[in-house]
Structure formats: structure tokens, C-alpha cells
């Protein structure tokens, strides 16, 4: 395992961090995965209040195995649920209990997207609360995770004396959201930068179009698509930790092998030149930039929004038949009385304010419906429904 330094503390953070949003539901499997990561040098674990059961599972694993002091814990304040000063303390105490700890190493304001939102928290006393927590040692470092425009990121970086930040960044998102310019700005201010979505919700690992994957395979048959994505990030000295939402031993093994060689400048000029063609191919087929984070769920009308978008993208990257099959089986579009497909969208807009990618979800679901649920599929469903008891 390679490590990079937090300049504010001198702490050595593993270049590979464990993103816990997609932890296995089964506790034993999650425990084996977490402990294997720790035994192989991973020391940065990222979770959040809103991640399904993630804080509790992580906390119980660390306590059961007596390894809390071996890792740096990062979790996030659900600020959208905070309307008064006392809410900060309420949620923080819940998180301490879930994580079975008395302090948080890296505490983030979750999905802070602009200065106006930060100022609304300042108005109810968050800066005083942070100062109290840091003085007591209950919070070591404070930062924010970000999904928004580059301009808003630049303003947020200067709005407070942040200790670190977390951004979405990968070789297809080089100029999206904070982007490379935001990464450079934060690094110049001495802030460790934690990278999330390095594989774009797995799309850069298992969801690459065949033509794009072939570009990499032609150069190196043994190296995985995920390894190519991680190498692009670790090639940049401004990147401190790259979070990977690992939920299987094979994923962990592959990422560890790549992390063992992680170093600035690790890409040859020939390797660096491969990413451009891959991005061009990928963007032709990746029509909706959904990462499968599920923040938009549940839909009040039962639409499986991430499932719809995943099938839609697959229909372009792997062909219409593959996309239709995934759509029909994954969204319940073949069930006449239990519909989760895009056709069930009522354009209520409940999902729009929840999406960190700022996707125009209702409009995009209309595109999904036109491609994957045309009139002849709906006609077939109605015909089948008439035959069912």
C-alpha cells in the first residue's frame, strides 16, 4: 500500500480508501471485506449518515475486531435535515453511537453545493459548533463533499478554513463539477483532496463499451478497466485518497494490486494517450450520467430510476437487445400490475432536488420510455394482463 500525507496533520492516508456506501448487506461478508482491507494497509474509511446501515456495520466491525485506532473514519453531516443549532449535535451523537467511537477523524458537510447553503448553516451556528467539537477532540478535521458547478466549488473553497474536501473526479469527468481546476485549487490551498466516483458507480469497471475496453486491452491484456481508472487518478500528485465502493473480495484484490504501485507520474506517455479515445467512445454510449447512488429513491410513484437509466445506457453501450432485457427484468416492466419503468413517471419533480448529478430526471425518463418501452411493449403487457387472474 502506498500513502500520501495530509499536510495539516502529517498523517499518512492510504491512497486507496474504502467507500462504504455499497457495503454488503450481510454482516459477515462486510466484516471479511473490511478486515481484509485493513490487513492490507487501507486506513481511510468513508461513510455517511444517509448510507443504508453503513455507519452501524462499519462501527460494529471496527469495535468487534479492536481496530478503531488503526483507521481514519470519515462520515458526513446530513445538513439538509438541520434547521436549528441543536440538530448538529443530535445527528453527530447518533453517528458516534452507530460508529462505536468517541471521535471522527474526517467529518464532512454532506453534498454541499454552493456558498448560499453554507451561509444558511453559518446563520444557525455551525462554525461555532465545529469549533467546539474540534476543541474537544471529537472532530479532528472538517471538510465538505461536493456535487455542483466549478464556480461554486471555487467559492466554497474560499468561504471557510476547510481542512479537506471530497470531489467527484475520474477520467470521464475531468472538467465536470469541480474538475481538474478545482482539484488544483484545493491542493494549492494545502487541502487533502478525497476523490469519490473514480469508477463512476462501476461504469468504468464493468460498464465500459466493448470498443472502449478493447482500447485498453490492446495495450495490456491483463490490466482491468478499474485499474486503468485508478491509475489515471494516482498519476496526479494533487489526489490524496481515492475511494472505491468495494463489495467483493475480487474487487478489493484488484484495487490493492493497483494501489501497491500508485505514484505520481506512473502513466507513460503512451498510456496517457489511451484515455482520450476511450472517453470519446464512452460518451457516445453513456447518455445519462447516473452513478446509481440511489439518492433519488424511493420514487413516490414506484419508478426504479437508477434501474431505468442503467438499462438505457446499456442499450447504447452493449446494444438494444441487452438494454431491453435489463429494462424488462430490472424495472418490472414485464409485470402488468407492478410497474417500476419510466412510463410510470408522473413528472412530480420529487427526485430533482435529491440528485447530486443534477440530472433532469423526468425528461431523461421520457427518453428511456421512448427507447425501451415503446408502444408495442406496452401493448404486449396489456395483452398479458388480460390473461392473468
Domains located in the chain, CATH noted: 3-284 (3.20.20.100), 287-387 (no CATH)
User: How does pLDDT run across 80-130, given as a tens digit for each residue?
Assistant: 899 999 999 999 999 999 999 999 999 999 989 889 999 999 999 999 999
Strand 12-14 and strand 3-5: pairing?
antiparallel
The DSSP symbol for 16 reads: E
Predicted confidence band of residue 383 (pLDDT cuts 50, 70, 90): low
Residue 186 predicted with pLDDT over 80: yes
Predicted confidence band of residue 265 (pLDDT cuts 50, 70, 90): very high
The set of cell numbers assigned to 307 is 434501474
Poorest-confidence range of 121-125, 158-162, 207-211, 379-383? 379-383
E strands present in 62-114? 72-77, 104-109
CA separation for the pair 221, 228 (Å, rounded)? 12
What pLDDT score does 330 carry?
A: 62
Coil, strand or helix at 165: strand
Choose between 15 and 355: higher pLDDT: 15
Phi, psi of 108 (to 5 degrees): -115, 145
CA separation for the pair 35, 38 (Å, rounded)? 5
Q: How far is CA 6 from CA 129, 143, 257, in A?
A: 23, 13, 23
Length in residues, the chain: 389
CA 264 from centre of chain:
23
**Residue 286 near residue 177 (C-beta atoms within 8 A):** no
What pLDDT score does 371 carry?
A: 87
Q: Which residues contact 160 (CB under 8 A, 6 or more apart)?
A: 118, 127
User: How does pLDDT run across 218-255, given as a tens digit for each residue?
Assistant: 999 999 999 999 999 999 999 999 999 998 999 999 99
Range 335-351 average pLDDT? 69
- Percent of the chain with pLDDT strictly greater than 90: 62
CA separation for the pair 379, 153 (Å, rounded)? 48
**Residue 32 near residue 258 (C-beta atoms within 8 A):** no
Coil, strand or helix at 255: helix
User: How does pLDDT run across 117-175, given as a tens digit for each residue?
Assistant: 999 999 999 999 999 999 999 999 999 999 888 899 999 999 999 999 999 999 988 88
Residue 374 predicted with pLDDT over 90: no
Own/partner contacts of 152-155, CB < 8 Å, gap of 24 or more, are 152/113, 152/114, 152/115, 153/177, 153/178, 153/182, 153/185, 154/181, 154/182, 154/185, 155/114, 155/115
Range 272-299 average pLDDT? 86
Q: Which residues contact 314 (CB under 8 A, 6 or more apart)?
A: 207, 322, 323, 326
Predicted confidence band of residue 323 (pLDDT cuts 50, 70, 90): confident
Residue 339 predicted with pLDDT over 90: no
**Residue 312 near residue 370 (C-beta atoms within 8 A):** no
CA separation for the pair 263, 234 (Å, rounded)? 6
The DSSP symbol for 51 reads: S
Poorest-confidence range of 33-42, 61-70, 365-374? 365-374
Phi, psi of 235 (to 5 degrees): -65, -20
Predicted confidence band of residue 376 (pLDDT cuts 50, 70, 90): low
Predicted confidence band of residue 337 (pLDDT cuts 50, 70, 90): very low
**Residue 167 near residue 149 (C-beta atoms within 8 A):** no
Residue 334 predicted with pLDDT over 80: no
Residue with cell 481511510: 44
Average pLDDT, the chain: 89
Count CB-CB contacts under 10 A for residue 249: 12
Residue 380 predicted with pLDDT over 60: no
What pLDDT score does 96 carry?
A: 98
Amino acid at each position: 500500500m502506498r500513502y500520501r500525507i495530509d499536510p495539516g496533520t502529517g498523517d499518512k492516508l492510504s491512497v486507496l480508501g474504502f467507500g462504504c456506501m455499497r457495503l454488503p448487506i450481510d454482516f459477515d461478508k462486510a466484516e471479511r471485506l473490511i478486515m481484509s482491507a485493513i490487513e492490507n494497509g487501507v486506513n481511510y474509511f468513508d461513510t455517511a449518515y444517509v448510507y443504508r446501515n453503513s455507519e452501524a456495520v462499519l462501527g460494529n466491525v471496527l469495535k468487534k475486531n479492536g481496530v478503531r485506532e488503526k483507521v481514519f473514519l470519515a462520515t458526513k453531516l446530513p445538513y439538509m435535515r438541520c434547521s436549528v443549532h441543536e440538530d448538529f449535535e443530535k445527528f453527530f451523537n447518533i453517528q458516534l453511537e452507530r460508529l462505536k467511537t468517541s471521535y471522527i477523524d474526517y467529518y464532512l458537510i454532506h453534498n454541499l453545493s454552493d456558498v448560499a447553503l453554507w451561509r444558511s448553516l453559518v446563520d444557525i451556528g455551525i462554525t461555532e459548533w465545529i469549533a467546539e467539537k474540534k476543541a474537544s477532540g471529537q472532530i479532528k478535521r472538517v471538510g465538505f463533499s461536493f456535487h455542483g458547478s466549478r464556480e461554486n466549488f471555487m467559492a466554497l473553497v474560499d468561504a471557510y478554513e476547510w481542512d479537506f474536501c471530497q470531489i467527484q473526479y475520474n477520467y470521464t469527468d475531468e472538467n465536470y463539477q469541480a474538475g481538474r481546476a478545482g482539484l488544483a485549487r484545493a491542493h494549492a490551498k494545502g487541502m487533502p483532496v478525497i476523490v469519490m466516483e473514480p469508477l463512476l458507480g462501476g461504469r468504468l469497471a464493468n460498464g465500459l463499451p466493448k470498443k472502449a475496453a478493447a482500447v485498453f486491452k490492446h495495450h495490456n491484456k491483463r490490466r482491468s478497466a478499474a485499474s486503468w481508472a485508478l491509475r489515471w487518478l494516482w498519476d496526479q500528485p494533487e489526489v490524496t485518497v481515492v475511494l472505491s465502493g468495494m463489495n467483493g473480495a475480487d474487487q478489493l484484490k484488484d484495487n490493492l494490486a493497483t494501489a501497491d504501485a500508485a505514484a505520481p507520474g506512473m502513466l507513460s506517455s503512451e498510456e496517457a494517450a489511451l484515455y482520450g479515445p476511450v472517453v470519446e467512445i464512452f460518451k457516445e454510449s453513456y447518455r445519462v450520467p447516473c452513478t446509481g447512488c440511489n439518492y433519488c429513491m424511493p420514487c413516490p410513484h414506484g419508478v426504479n430510476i437508477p434501474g431505468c437509466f442503467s438499462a438505457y445506457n446499456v442499450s447504447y453501450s452493449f446494444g438494444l437487445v441487452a438494454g431491453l432485457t435489463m429494462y424488462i427484468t430490472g424495472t418490472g416492466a414485464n409485470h402488468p400490475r407492478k410497474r417500476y419503468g419510466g412510463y410510470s413517471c408522473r413528472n412530480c419533480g420529487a427526485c430533482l432536488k435529491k440528485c447530486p448529478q443534477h440530472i433532469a430526471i423526468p425528461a431523461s425518463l421520457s427518453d428511456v420510455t421512448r427507447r425501451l418501452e415503446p408502444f408495442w411493449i406496452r401493448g404486449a403487457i396489456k395483452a398479458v394482463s388480460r390473461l392473468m387472474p
